Structures are given as C-alpha cells and as structure tokens.
Structure 1
C-alpha cells in the first residue's frame, strides 16, 4: 500500500523507537513491532519491564498474572488510506476499542524512519524500518469452530499472527474487566486471545514474542489449503490444531 499517495509501507517490519505525548516522559523502551502486508497489518506492544508470568497455561493464571499480561497491547486488521491520513482498522484487538479511530499522518523522517502524528489524539511516534521484503503473505481468517477472527501476515522471514476471542468483551478498560470478573475462569477468558510475532527458519514458524508468554518457542506452522490450520494450545495447555476459513479470498499469498 502507498499511503496518502506518498509513502509505500507494504512488505515492511517497523520497530518503534519513540512515543511522545504532551506532558508525559517520552517512551523509548516499549518493544513495538508493526508488520505490514499489502493491506493487512499486525502490531504487538510489550513494555520493556514486563513482569515474568511463569504460568504454563491460561487455566493456571491468577488475577495478578492476568493484570500483568493486560499491560501489553496488540491489534491487527486492515490499514486504510483515508487520503490525508491512514487508519488502523482493528479486526483483532487485545484491549477494547477506544472512543476514536486509531489514525495517524505518516511522513518520512529520514531514509530509515517514518514519523507518525496522531489525528484524533496528540502523539508522535518514530518507526524504524527494520526489514523490507517483496515476499508478502497475508490472510484474514475466521475460526471454523468458534467464529473468532484471525490475521496472519508474513514479510520475508518474519511473521505476525493475531487470534481474536470467541466472545464479545465489554467496553471498560481490560484491567477493570479482569478485576471485576465474576469468577477466575471469566477473568482468564478475557485474555484468551493472542498477538504474536516470530521467524520462519527451515520451514518452522517459531514464535519469538507473544501476549501469552507460554507460547514463546512454540511453532505456529500454518498449513494452507481449502482450510488454513495453525498449531496452538487450548485453555488448559493441550495441543490443538485450529481450523480457519478465509474471510476474504483476496487475501492470500503474494510471494
């Protein structure tokens, strides 16, 4: 995609180097990866000082573990060109949607950096161009069994995968919903989604970062055909294969 008629973002892995907001200390440490396909994108954001959550499954997590994981952010969907700015439409999101669209104006800061200025919020972000590849795959998917949405983007040897929940959550902040859940199981279900990034090597799609820490080191290993299959873990940690159908057949391999 060439956004706002000027800047081509397709086939790029961006790493954020700066978030600046008025009256707030600039953030230069949060680990943020934005992977951009032709139209689909995936974005994972993890604080540098994120506390370790050692629980091996969601079913073994307590409230404090869940609150810690809710300190992350991530979302995926389509990047929409609105002319003067772009909008990151969210098909999958860790946190409830905000009151305004996620929209920014992009400009070239230097040969290796884009700068983004918020449209509906006052912020500035700097994005380092970490990888560019003409080999792009992207898929917008729906779980055959649950109806959950997923986004899969691959740029060169980097991939990003976002799996949405199989239920609708409230509009209150996620941490408030976790703390206010009627049961521990209800609180755990609020985190039953995943935004992950990883690398492809020798045919293995290895997860290197995820909103679910026990997934790091696992293989996603998608297989493609009439259905797309991905490897995953169930709520209790049991190995499962998720079955996906294409939501939009125009999203496919473009390598």
Structure 2
C-alpha cells in the first residue's frame, strides 16, 4: 500500500448520496477535503436542532448535546492501493474502531466518484466542488492553541479545521460506553462533544466558518494560522 499521490483525489468533494441495505441518505451534509496525503471529513445530519441560543457547549441542553453526538467527522491520512483507499483517522469525532476502506470508481472527467464499501456494504456518490476563485494552491499544517492541536487543510478559497477533544485516549474510551448505555451525565456529553470539524471559506486574508460540528462557530470570522498562510504564499 502506498501513500496517496494521485492528483485526481485532491480538492473538496461533496457527498450527494449514501446507499446501504437499509438506508438511502441524500440529506446529510457531507464534505471531504483531500490535500496531499491528508484528509478532513465533516458530516452533519439535516435534522440537527436549532442552536441559535447557544454560544458554547455549556449553553446546550441534554437533547442538544445528544444531537451533536449524532454528527460525524474525522481527519488524518489517506492511503491508496490500486483503486482502494483507506482513511486513517488520527482525529475522530465518533470513533467506531472499524477500518474505513472504499473502492473508488471515478467518472470519465474525474469530477465524480462512486465509493463502494470494502468491509461494510455501502455506496457513496461524491461530486467535486469547483473552486470559485480558480486558485490552485493547497497546503496543510498543524497549529497549537494552548494545549490543543489543530489540523488545517486548505485548497483554493476553502479550508477545513479539525481539533481533537481535550481528553486522554483512556478517558475518552471510558466515556463512549456511558453514552451508548444511556448513563452518561450532561458533563460527560459535553466532554465528548468538545471536538471540532469545520469547513470554511477564505476571501483574501479573511476567513469565516460555513459549517461546523460546533454550530455557534458557523458564520464566525477567524484568523488563519501563519503556517497555512506561509504554505500558500
């Protein structure tokens, strides 16, 4: 298996359809950004409730916290062998412990992909998102904010930011069973929901978030890290 190098994978993709033996989903908002060997993936259900009165996890009700934890997202490195990709999730919003492998069939113009599950039965249809500003540059980097590390990916005028929850692996492993068994406290839910995957847009040196696992960040401006600006200068 070799590291992903093919240019046909690079850029921002939007999922239009997921089909499984029991599901047809064309409403979940799903984006996948591939920059070099690195990826970020964001998945927000259409029925996510209103968070307009929330400005942090501390403002969220138990119902809202549970809704946040129905989201998905991850970031890491993509490996490819022939037509099969494996997404190695270094940061994972809702870990399953299962491998993530897909067989990729590109359209003739390389602007759409049919992804077929290798170890689970599913088909996903992806369409390439065109870059409005025509900028072909791309880059990735890690930044540090206090004790938190964030993965940044950028292609053209779009970027994604992935931040792991500030928990040790051991503590995180202890919390997920509490959630699945229905015995997690509100504070447990807040610890699990404290994980960010965001997609944003850039105009010049100004940037703002379009979609995020933390809804109150949407529409908010932010400062891009120097490492991303330097990479793309």
- State yes or no: 1:170 paired with 2:173: yes
2:226 corresponds to:
224
Q: Contact between 2:69 and 2:192, CA under 8 Å: does it hold in 1?
A: no
2:106 corresponds to:
108
2:86 corresponds to:
87
1:204–1:179 Cα change, 3 Å? farther
Shift of 1:175: 8.2
CA shift digits 1:132-190 (9 cap, x unpaired): 5521011144x4642x4421111100111111111131277588259423x43232121
Q: Matches of residues 1-255 of structure 1 in structure 2 within 5 Å?
A: 8-10=8-10, 12-22=11-21, 24-54=22-52, 55-96=54-95, 98-111=96-109, 112-131=111-130, 134-141=136-143, 143=144, 145-146=146-147, 148-167=148-167, 168=169, 169-170=172-173, 176=179, 179-181=182-184, 183-224=185-226, 253=231
Higher helix proportion (structure 1 or 2): 2
Moved more, 104-113 or 187-196: 104-113
Q: Distance in 1 between matches of 2:118 and 2:175?
A: 23
Structure 1 segments (4+ residues) deviating >6 Å: 2-7
Tell me how large the CA RMSD over aligned residues is: 2.7
Q: Distance in 2 between matches of 1:70 and 1:149?
A: 21
1:219–1:144 Cα change, 3 Å? closer
Shift of 1:78: 0.8
Shift of 1:28: 1.1
Q: Contact between 1:42 and 1:153, CA under 8 Å: does it hold in 2?
A: yes
TM (norm. structure 2) is 0.85
Q: Contact between 2:5 and 2:36, CA under 8 Å: does it hold in 1?
A: no
Q: Distance in 1 between matches of 2:20 and 2:158?
A: 30
Q: Distance in 1 between matches of 2:55 and 2:121?
A: 39
Runs of 5+ in structure 1 lacking a partner? 230-251
